[in-house]
Amino acid sequence: MSRIEAKFAALAEADRKAFVAYLMAGDPDYARSFEIMRGMPAAGVDVIELGVPFTDPMADGPTIQLAGQRALEGGQTLRKTLQMVREFRQDDAETPIVLMGYYNPIYSLGVDRFLAEAVEAGIDGLIVVDLPPEEDSELCLPALAAGIDFIRLATPTTDDKRLPRVLQNTSGFVYYVSITGITGAAAAQASAVGPDVARIKAATDLPVVVGFGIRTPETAAEIAGVADGAVVGSAIVSEIASGKPADEVLSFVAALAAGAHSA
């Protein structure tokens, strides 16, 4: 059983929803982002979604775009991101880590080399938003063969005709994007999200977590109430961008986690 499977199984056994937290590796610098990452499990984070900075992040709104720019200006790379995971694993062998990013840095490094280093570092899953199911042979199938989950996004525009293709070869969990648009663009509404989550869950046994547009503990609770968990990214990245110390950022994360767990 993978770390992701084990985590969701333990949460289901405890009748508890998942809280997934995103941060951009290397924002604003390697040391501070690693300090926040290292403190996330104690703050209640069940799964860490670690962003890999990229110059052309098509799915990300201004908040995460700027985080990626800061990280790149600070010298963050895909290989340095893998090094962060290696360091994290020295003290934590249980918390699942999902890399979120785009295919270009992986392609540039080389798929085989990337997957070998990702397995060695302790990566559990990948979200690569610019690789649709039609391109599964590029990375998805090799990742699955290497023991790394490939997590797919479903959106409000993923209709019943498209959904089976999206779910094919998806593993770990399904990430449902609550809004049409980029990260941080609008607020998620449980009343709108619930029916689509139910439709996806009827088509798969995988957990379905919801992200985009969740900025408060209250919204995290509402969204987790209609799904298997909630993901928060831009709101956390905004706290980091404001220059708050790590302990204050982690206090904010803890409040979000408590909201999701209260569902």
Active site residues: 49, 60
What single letter denotes the amino acid at residue 243? G
CA distance 156 to 140: 23
Distance CA 173, CA 5 (A): 9
**Which residue, among 207, 229, 15, 2, has the nearest Cα to 94 in the 3D structure?**
2
Tokens of 194: 């619930």
| Distance of alpha carbon 5 from the chain centroid | 15
Bridge partners of residue 100, in order along the sequence: 51, 127
Q: For residue 195, what are its two tokens?
A: 């029916």
Closest among 247, 218, 214 to 20, alpha carbons compared:
214
